[in-house]
C-alpha cells in the first residue's frame, strides 16, 4: 500500500516538475509546479513527517497562486496561446543537468549509507517543536529575522510610493493621498 | 424512463431569466422584474447562467447585435422571449417556459449550439480557434463584433482575459491562435507598464443602466480610461412622467408624483444595493418599488419605505465600503449640467445614496397629499429634465473623469450611485459619445 | 521504499530544476527552476531524517530552513522582478545583463 | 474521548457533510422565499428545480479556454470541502484521528485559492478572470487571521490534534474565553466558502465573477462546493471552539449535530445582513486590525498554558 502510494506520488512529483518547463501557459506552469509540491508534501507525510508535509502543501498552494499572479503579470505571453521558446543555451543546460543527475545518482548508489540510528519519535511534530524552541533556538531566531528582513526588503524593493508620496513633503497631509483608499483610513 | 425530459420539466419550473432592457423600455423592465419576483424566478447574471433571454422593449441596432450575441452564448436548454409592452411580459415568459420544458425543442437547440465549432459539448482541450465573436464575458457581447466584422474570420473580439487586451484593428496579418490578439502595454499609476485590456461594459450586464455601453481600458481591474457610449435614448423617462404631465397642464396630484418619486428612489437604491452585494435589502427595495407602482395603500408603504431608508442610511458597513468613492463636488456637478440628488449630495457615493434615502423618506411623507403638484412638492427624482437630456446626459458625461483610476468594483458603485436614466436623453442619439 | 529511491527522486527534481534555472530566459521561469531544486532538497532532507537519524530533530530543522528559503526566494525574487520591470519593462535576464559589459 | 473510525468512514464523511450543506441550502432558500413575500412551502422547490436545471444544462465552452484548469478548478472546490471535513469529529468518532488535524483542515481549505483562481482563469473571459484574482486578494486578507484563530485553539489545547482540542474544552468552551478567535474564524469560514459578505469573487458587480461563464454540471459542482465548504467550516467550529460533542443528556453525536446546525444557522442567517466586503477595504482592516488582534488573542492561551 505505502509502496504504491510512494510510486504514484514520486512519479507525479517528477512528471509535473518536468512539465513545468514544457507547458506554454504560465497558468499551467505554475499549477504544475504546485502539483509537484503537493506530491512532495504527500511523500513527507509518508515519511512520518505529518506536520511538515501538510505545511508544505498549505504553503505551496498559497505561494504558487501568488506566483501565478506575478507570472502572468510579467510574462509577454502568459496564456501561451502563441507558442514561443524562451531559452538560452538549452543544450548546455541540458548537459549540465544530466551530468548533475548522473553524479548524484552515482553518489546515491555508491555511498555506503550508515544504518538508521535511533527510532522515530512517537510524535515527530513534538520533536520538531522541542528542537526549535530548545536546542535549535538559534536557528529559529535566525530564520525569524531572515523572514522579517525579507518582508521589509521585498516591500521596499517592490513599492514605488513612500510616506512622502502619501503624506506630502512635510508629512502632514491627512488623509494621505492614496490611489485607492484602504479600510482603516491610516 | 424519460429522465432528461423529467429534469427539463423540473428545471423549467424555476428558470433563470436574463433581462435585456432596450432604451425607453423602463416600464417593460419593471413589469418583468415584478413578474419574476412573483414567480420566484431568479434573475440571471450572464448568458451562461440564463435559461430565458427576455428582451424588454424593442432592441435595435447595436443592442440587437448584443442580444443576438448573448443568445448565441447561452447554453441549452434555453428560450427566448420578447415583450415590447408591459402587458406582454407574462405571456412571453410563460411561452418561453413552455419551450424550455419541451424536450424536442431543447434537443434541437442543444444540437444547434453543439454544431457551432467552438461551443460544443466536447471541449477542445487548449486553444481551439473559432470565428464567432461572442465567446467573451458578459460585458462585451456583440459590441466589439460590430466594429470588427469587416475583418473576416479572425478579427479581434475584444475583452479576453489572460491579461490580453486587444487593439481593435491591425492584427489582420498576424496569425494568432483562436484569433486572439496580443495585448498592448500601457502606463499605470503604479509605474508598472503591464498589459491593457479593452473591455466594453454593457449593454448586457445586470443592474446596469439600460442602453449604456462603457468602453473601458483596464490594467488589472483598475480602469485607466472609460468612454461612455449611448445605444439610444427614450422618449422621456418613465420616472419623470408626472412632472411632464403637470408641465403640460394636466392635473397631477402631489400624492401621485410622490409615489412615482418614491418608486424611482427605490429602483435606484435596489440597483445600487445589488451592485454593492447586499442582495437581501436590494430585493426588499425592489419589492417595495413594485408595491408602490401597483398602488399599494400608503400607510404600510410609508412605514416599510422609512424602515428601509433608515436601515440603508444608517448602515455603517455600507458607508465604510463606499466612503471616498467617486467624489463629486456641487460646483463640478452644476457645470456638467447635473441637478437633483447627485448635486444636493455633493460628495462621495455614501453621500449620494444617503441623499436618496432622505429623499425617499421625504417623498413617502406626502403620499396622501391630494393637492395639485406645485413647486413645493416633490421634484423629479433625478432633478428637472431638460430637452438636451439633462440631467442624465450630464451624469454620463462625468463618468470618464470619475471612473479613471477606480477599480472595477468601485466603478460599478459609482455608476450605480449616479444611476443615469438614459430614457431622459432624446431618442435617436444612437452611438453618441458621452463627451 | 528505500532511502535510495527517495534520494533518486530528490536528485531528479533537483536536476530538472537545475535545467530550468539554467536554460530559461525569463526571471520568473528561473525562479520556478530554483523552487523545483529546493523541492528536491525537501524530499532529500525528509528521507535522510527518516532513514538515517529519526531520533534527532536535525533533519526536520533543515526542512524548516528549506521551506523558509523557498518563501524568501519567492518574495525577494518577485520584488526584484517588480523593481526591474518598473525600471526597464523587461523580465528577461539577457536584457538586464548590464554587468556583462 | 474521540476514537478513530475504520477506513470506510472516509466515504461516509462526504455524505454527512452533504446532508448538512443541503440543510443549509434549504434554510437559505426559506429565508429568500420569506424575504420575497412568497409562501414558505415553496422553499424546497427552489433548490430542487435548480439542481434539475443544472443537471440537464449544457456546459459553456468559451473561445481559447483552458478547459483542463477550468474543470480542475471547479472540481477542487467541493473536493477541498470534503477533504477538510475528514478531520472533524462527529460525536465520539472521527474519520481520521490525524495528529496534525488543524493544519490539515487549514491546508485543505487553502486549496480553494488554487481552485477559484483556476476556475477564473480557465474560462478566458474578463469578468471571470477578475473574479479569480479577487479571490486571491480576499484570501490574502482572510487567511492569516484565520490561521491565527486556528493557532489560538491549538495553543489552548497544546495540540494540533482535533480530538485533543475537544478534550481540552471539557470545562470551558474556547469560544467563551477566545471570542475574538471564534469571530475571526467564522469570518474565515465565509471567506473560504466565498458566501455572504465574502462573495466578492462572485459579486453581482462582476456579473457573478468567477461563476460568470460556468454553466450546467460545472455550476452545480461549484455551487455545491461553496455550501460544502460552509458546512465543513461550521462543522470544524464545533470541536475547535464549542466543545465538540460534549453536552448533557443527549448522546455526543446529537450534540455535534445540534452545534453544527446552530453554527450553520447563524452563518446562513447572517450572510443576508451584510453587503459584500470589497477586498480593497477589507484587506487593510485585516492586516492592520485583525492580524494584531488575532496575535494578541493567540497570546492569551499561550500565557494561560505557561501559568498552568
Average pLDDT in the B10-33 region?
88
The pLDDT value recorded for residue B164 is: 36
Instruction: Report the pLDDT averaged over residues B92-108.
Output: 83
Q: How far is CA B20 from CA A95, B42, B214, B248, in A?
A: 61, 14, 16, 32
Q: Are the C-beta atoms of D61 and D122 separated by less than 8 Å?
A: no
> Which residues have CB under 8 Å from B269's CB, separation 6+?
B282, B285, B308, B312, B353, B356, B357, B360
Range of the domain at C47: 3-90
Interface contact flag, D284 A184, Cβ < 8 Å: yes
Which three three-digit cell numbers place residue B111? 444540437
Residue B13 CB-half CA count within 13 A = 17
Which pLDDT belongs to residue A61? 92
SS3 A159: coil
Chains interfacing with C (3 or more CB pairs < 8 Å):
A, B
| Residue of chain D whose alpha carbon sits nearest to that of B161 | D126
For residue B35, pLDDT beyond 50: yes
Single out the residue of D56, D54, D22, D26 nearest to residue D42, CA to CA: D26
D68, D103, D285 ranked by CB distance to A183: nearest: D285
pLDDT score, position B149 = 32
From the list D221, D236, D287, the residue with the least C-alpha distance to D75 is D221
pLDDT at B160: 38
Q: Residue A87 in 3-state DSSP?
A: strand
Q: Where are the domains of chain A?
A: 1-77, 123-179
**Neighbors of chain B by Cβ distance (3+ pairs < 8 Å):** A, C, D
CA B293 to chain centre: 20
For an interface test with C, which of A4, A7, A8, A10 has the most C Cβ atoms less than 10 Å from its Cβ? A10
Residue B174 has pLDDT above 50, yes or no: no
| pLDDT at res. B157 | 34
CA dihedral over B121, B127, B130, B133, signed as positive or negative = positive
Q: What is the pLDDT of residue B117?
A: 43
pLDDT value of residue B5: 81
The pLDDT value given to residue B398: 85
CA B337 remoteness from chain centre: 23
Determine what percent of chain B is predicted with pLDDT higher than 90.
14
Nearest to A61 among D98, D110, D124 (CB): D110
**Which residue(s) pair with B21 in the sheet?**
B56
Q: Just give the CATH number of B3-113.
A: 3.40.50
CB distance B49–D211 less than 8 Å?
yes
pLDDT tens-digit map of B304-336: 999 999 999 999 999 998 888 888 888 887 777
D93 membership: H or E segment, kind and range: strand D93-94
Among B75-79, B321-325, C1-5, D71-75, the range of highest mean pLDDT: D71-75
- Determine, for residues C86 and A101 on separate chains, whether the beta-carbon distance falls below 8 Å: no
What pLDDT does residue B382 have?
83
pLDDT of A126 reads 87
DSSP collapsed to 3 states, chain B:
CCHHHHHHHHHCCCCCEEEEECCCCHHHHHHHHHHHHHHCCCECCCHHHCCEEEEECCCCHHHHHHHHHHHHHCCCCCEEEEECCHHHHHHHHHHHHHHHCCHHHHHHHHHHHHHCHHHCCCCCCCCCCCCCCCCCCHHHCCHHHHHHHHHCCCCCCCCCCCCCCCCCCCCCCCCCHHHCCCCCEECCCCCCCEECEEEEECCCCCCCCCCEEEEEEEECCEEEEEEEEECCCCCCCHHHHHHHHHHCCCCCEHHHHHHHHHHHHHHHHHHHHHHCCCHHHHHHHHHHHHHHHCCCCHHHHHHHHHHHHHHHHHCHHHHHHHCCCCCCCHHHHHHCCCCCHHHHHCCCHHHHHHHHHHHHHHHHHCCCCCCECCCCCCCCCCCCCCCCCCCHHHHHHHHHHHHCCCEHHHHHHHHHHHCCCHHHCCCCCCCEECC
Q: Is the minimum CB–CB distance between C95 and chain A shorter than 8 Å?
A: no
Indicate the average pLDDT of chain B: 77
Q: Could you tell me the CATH number of the domain that includes residue C35? A: 1.10.287.3510
Phi-psi region of D61 (alpha: psi -120 to 50; beta: other; left: phi over 0): beta
Q: Which residues pair with B82 in a beta bridge?
A: B55
Q: Is B189 on the interface with C (CB under 8 A)?
A: no
pLDDT of residue D91: 81
Q: Which residues contact C83 (CB under 8 A, 6 or more apart)?
A: A157, A158
**From start to end of chain A, where are the E strands?**
none
Window 86-125 of D: residues touching B by CB (8 A cutoff) are 121, 123-125
Contact call for B125 and D59, based on CB within 8 A: no
CA distance D214 to D296: 42
Task: Please tell me whether the peptide bond between C42 and the residue prior to it is cis, using omega within 30 degrees of 0.
Answer: no
Confidence of residue A33 (pLDDT cuts 50, 70, 90): very high
In terms of phi and psi (left: phi > 0; alpha: psi -120 to 50; beta: otherwise), the region of A80 is left
B201-213 pLDDT, tens digit each: 878 888 988 888 8
Cis before residue A99, ω within 30 degrees of 0? Answer: no
**C53 neighbors A127 (Cβ within 8 angstroms):** no
Helix axes D126-157, D291-307, angle to 10 degrees: 20
Identify the pLDDT of residue B131.
34
CATH of domain B238-433: 1.10.645.10
Is the Cβ–Cβ distance between A118 and C58 less than 8 Å? no
Question: Kindly report the CA angle at B32 between B28 and B37, in degrees rounded to 5?
Answer: 150
**C-alpha span between B209 and B213 (Å, rounded):** 9
pLDDT of residue B122: 35
Cβ-based contacts of D126 with chain B (< 8 Å): 136-137, 139-140, 159-161, 197, 199, 218
| Dihedral sign, Cα of residue B187, residue B190, residue B193, residue B199 | negative
Which residue positions in chain D have pLDDT lower than 70? 1-2
CA atoms C58, C60, C65, C70: torsion sign? positive
Given a cut of 70, whether residue B80 has pLDDT beyond it is: yes
pLDDT of amino acid B151: 30
D221 CB-near residues (< 8 Å, 6+ apart): D74, D75, D77, D78
More confident call, B130 vs A165: A165
Picking from A60, B185, A27, A12, the residue whose alpha carbon sits closest to that of residue C28 is: A27
State pLDDT tens for residues C63-94: 999 999 999 998 998 888 888 888 776 666 66
Tell me how far apart the terminal alpha carbons of chain B are, to the nearest angstrom.
61
| pLDDT reading at B141 higher than 50 | no
Percentage of chain D modeled with pLDDT above 70 = 99
Q: Which of D246, D258, D251, D138 is nearest to D200 (CA)?
A: D138
**Domain-embedded: residue C84:** yes
pLDDT tens for D83-138 read: 999 999 888 888 888 888 999 999 999 999 999 999 988 888 888 888 999 999 99
Beta bridge partners, B19, equal B54
The per-residue pLDDT for range B197-251, each reduced to its tens digit, is 888 887 888 898 888 888 988 887 888 888 888 887 777 788 888 888 888 888 8
Question: Is the pLDDT confidence value at B427 over 80?
Answer: no
Query: Which residue ranges make up each domain of chain B?
Result: 3-113, 238-433
Residues in chain C within 8 Å Cβ distance of B189: none
Residues whose CB falls within 8 Å of the CB of residue C92, separated by 6 or more in sequence, listed in order: A86, C25, C26, C27
pLDDT for B366 equals: 86
Are B18 and B42 a contacting pair, CB within 8 Å? no
Amino acid at each position: 500500500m505505502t509502496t504504491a502510494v510512494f510510486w504514484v506520488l514520486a512519479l507525479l512529483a517528477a512528471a509535473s516538475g518536468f512539465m513545468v518547463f514544457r507547458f506554454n501557459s504560465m497558468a499551467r506552469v505554475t499549477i504544475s509546479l504546485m502539483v509537484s509540491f503537493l506530491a512532495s508534501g504527500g511523500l513527507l507525510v509518508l515519511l512520518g513527517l505529518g506536520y511538515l508535509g501538510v505545511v508544505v502543501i498549505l504553503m505551496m498552494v498559497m505561494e504558487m497562486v501568488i506566483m501565478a499572479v506575478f507570472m502572468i503579470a510579467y510574462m509577454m505571453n502568459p496564456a501561451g496561446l502563441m507558442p514561443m521558446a524562451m531559452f538560452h543555451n538549452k543544450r548546455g543546460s541540458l548537459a549540465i543537468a544530466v551530468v548533475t543527475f548522473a553524479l548524484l545518482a552515482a553518489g546515491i548508489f555508491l555511498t555506503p549509507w550508515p544504518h538508521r540510528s535511533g527510532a522515530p519519535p512517537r510524535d515527530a511534530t513534538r520533536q520538531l517543536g522541542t528542537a526549535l524552541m530548545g536546542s535549535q533556538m538559534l536557528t529559529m531566531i535566525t530564520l525569524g529575522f531572515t523572514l522579517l528582513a525579507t518582508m521589509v526588503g521585498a516591500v521596499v524593493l517592490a513599492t514605488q510610493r513612500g510616506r512622502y508620496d502619501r503624506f506630502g513633503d512635510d508629512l502632514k497631509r491627512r488623509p494621505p493621498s492614496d490611489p485607492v483608499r484602504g479600510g482603516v483610513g491610516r | 424512463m424519460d429522465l432528461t425530459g423529467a429534469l427539463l420539466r423540473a428545471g423549467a419550473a424555476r428558470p433563470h431569466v436574463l433581462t435585456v432592457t432596450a432604451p425607453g423600455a423602463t416600464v417593460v423592465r419593471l413589469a418583468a422584474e415584478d413578474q419574476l419576483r412573483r414567480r420566484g424566478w431568479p434573475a440571471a447574471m450572464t448568458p451562461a447562467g440564463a435559461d430565458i433571454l427576455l428582451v424588454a422593449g424593442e432592441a435595435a441596432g447595436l443592442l440587437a447585435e448584443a442580444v443576438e450575441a448573448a443568445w448565441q452564448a447561452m447554453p441549452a436548454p434555453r428560450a427566448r422571449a420578447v415583450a415590447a409592452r408591459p402587458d406582454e411580459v407574462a405571456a412571453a415568459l410563460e411561452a418561453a417556459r413552455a419551450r424550455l420544458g419541451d424536450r424536442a425543442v431543447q434537443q434541437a437547440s442543444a444540437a444547434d449550439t453543439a454544431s457551432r465549432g467552438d461551443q460544443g459539448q466536447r471541449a477542445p482541450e487548449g486553444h481551439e480557434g473559432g470565428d464567432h465573436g461572442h465567446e467573451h464575458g458578459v460585458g462585451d457581447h456583440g459590441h466589439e463584433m460590430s466594429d470588427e466584422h469587416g475583418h473576416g474570420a479572425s478579427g479581434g473580439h475584444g475583452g479576453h482575459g489572460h491579461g490580453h487586451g486587444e487593439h481593435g484593428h491591425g492584427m489582420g496579418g498576424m496569425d494568432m491562435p483562436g484569433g486572439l490578439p496580443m495585448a498592448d502595454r500601457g502606463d499605470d499609476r503604479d509605474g508598472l507598464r503591464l498589459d491593457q485590456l479593452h473591455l466594453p461594459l454593457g449593454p448586457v450586464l445586470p443592474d446596469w443602466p439600460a442602453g449604456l455601453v462603457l468602453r473601458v481600458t483596464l490594467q488589472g481591474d483598475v480602469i485607466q480610461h472609460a468612454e461612455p457610449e449611448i445605444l439610444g435614448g427614450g422618449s422621456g423617462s418613465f420616472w419623470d412622467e408626472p412632472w411632464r404631465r403637470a408641465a403640460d397642464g394636466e392635473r397631477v396630484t402631489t400624492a401621485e408624483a410622490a409615489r412615482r418619486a418614491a418608486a424611482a428612489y427605490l429602483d435606484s437604491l435596489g440597483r445600487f444595493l445589488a451592485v454593492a452585494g447586499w442582495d437581501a435589502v436590494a430585493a426588499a427595495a425592489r419589492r417595495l418599488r413594485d408595491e408602490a407602482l401597483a398602488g399599494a395603500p400608503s400607510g404600510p408603504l410609508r412605514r416599510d419605505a422609512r424602515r428601509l431608508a433608515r436601515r440603508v442610511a444608517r448602515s455603517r458597513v455600507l458607508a465604510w465600503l463606499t466612503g471616498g468613492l467617486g467624489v463629486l463636488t456641487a460646483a463640478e456637478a452644476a457645470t456638467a449640467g447635473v441637478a437633483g440628488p447627485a448635486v444636493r449630495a455633493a460628495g462621495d457615493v455614501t453621500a449620494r445614496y444617503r441623499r436618496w434615502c432622505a429623499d425617499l423618506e421625504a417623498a413617502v411623507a406626502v403620499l396622501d397629499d391630494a393637492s395639485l403638484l406645485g413647486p413645493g412638492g416633490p421634484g423629479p427624482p433625478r432633478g428637472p429634465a431638460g430637452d438636451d437630456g439633462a440631467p442624465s446626459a450630464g451624469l454620463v458625461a462625468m463618468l470618464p473623469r470619475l471612473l479613471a483610476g477606480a477599480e472595477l468594483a468601485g466603478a460599478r458603485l459609482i455608476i450605480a450611485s449616479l444611476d443615469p436614466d438614459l430614457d431622459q436623453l432624446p431618442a435617436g442619439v444612437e452611438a453618441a459619445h458621452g463627451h | 521504499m528505500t532511502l535510495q529511491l527517495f534520494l533518486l527522486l530528490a536528485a531528479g527534481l533537483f536536476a530538472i530544476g537545475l535545467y530550468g534555472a539554467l536554460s530559461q530566459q525569463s526571471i520568473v521561469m528561473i525562479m520556478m527552476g530554483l523552487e523545483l531544486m529546493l523541492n528536491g532538497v525537501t524530499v532529500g532532507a525528509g528521507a535522510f531524517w527518516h532513514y538515517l537519524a529519526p531520533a534527532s530533530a536535525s533533519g526536520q530543522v533543515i526542512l524548516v530552513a528549506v521551506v523558509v528559503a523557498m518563501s524568501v526566494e519567492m518574495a525577494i525574487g518577485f520584488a526584484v522582478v517588480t523593481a526591474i520591470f518598473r525600471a526597464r519593462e523587461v523580465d528577461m535576464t539577457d536584457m538586464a545583463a548590464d554587468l556583462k559589459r | 474521548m474521540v476514537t478513530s473510525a475504520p477506513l470506510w468512514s472516509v466515504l461516509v464523511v462526504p455524505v454527512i457533510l452533504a446532508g448538512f450543506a443541503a440543510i443549509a441550502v434549504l434554510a437559505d432558500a426559506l429565508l429568500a422565499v420569506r424575504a420575497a413575500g412568497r409562501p414558505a412551502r415553496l422553499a424546497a422547490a427552489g433548490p430542487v428545480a435548480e439542481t434539475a436545471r443544472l443537471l440537464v444544462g449544457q456546459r459553456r465552452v468559451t473561445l481559447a479556454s483552458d478547459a483542463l484548469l477550468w474543470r480542475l478548478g471547479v472540481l477542487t472546490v467541493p473536493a477541498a470541502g470534503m477533504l477538510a471535513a475528514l478531520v472533524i469529529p462527529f460525536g465520539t468518532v472521527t474519520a481520521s484521528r490525524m495528529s496534525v488535524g488543524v493544519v490539515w483542515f487549514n491546508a485543505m481549505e487553502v486549496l480553494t485559492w488554487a481552485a477559484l483562481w483556476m476556475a477564473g482563469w480557465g474560462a478566458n473571459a474578463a469578468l471571470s478572470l477578475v473574479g479569480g484574482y479577487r479571490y486571491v486578494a480576499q484570501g490574502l486578507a482572510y487567511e492569516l487571521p484565520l490561521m491565527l484563530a486556528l493557532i489560538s485553539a491549538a495553543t489552548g489545547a497544546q495540540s494540533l490534534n482535533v480530538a485533543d482540542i475537544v478534550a481540552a474544552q471539557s470545562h470551558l468552551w474556547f469560544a467563551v474565553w477566545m471570542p475574538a478567535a471564534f469571530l475571526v474564524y467564522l469570518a474565515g469560514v465565509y471567506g473560504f466558502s466565498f458566501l455572504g459578505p465574502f462573495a466578492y469573487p462572485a459579486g453581482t458587480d462582476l456579473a457573478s465573477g468567477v461563476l460568470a461563464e460556468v454553466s450546467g454540471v460545472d455550476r452545480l459542482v461549484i455551487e455545491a462546493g461553496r455550501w460544502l465548504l460552509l458546512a465543513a467550516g461550521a462543522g470544524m467550529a464545533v470541536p475547535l471552539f464549542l466543545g465538540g460533542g460534549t453536552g448533557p443528556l443527549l448522546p455526543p453525536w446529537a450534540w455535534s449535530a445540534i452545534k453544527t446546525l446552530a453554527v450553520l444557522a447563524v452563518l446562513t442567517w447572517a450572510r443576508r445582513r451584510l453587503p459584500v466586503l470589497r477586498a480593497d477595504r477589507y484587506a487593510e482592516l485585516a492586516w492592520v486590525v485583525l492580524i494584531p488582534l488575532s496575535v494578541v488573542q493567540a497570546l492569551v492561551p499561550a500565557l494561560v498554558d505557561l501559568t498552568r
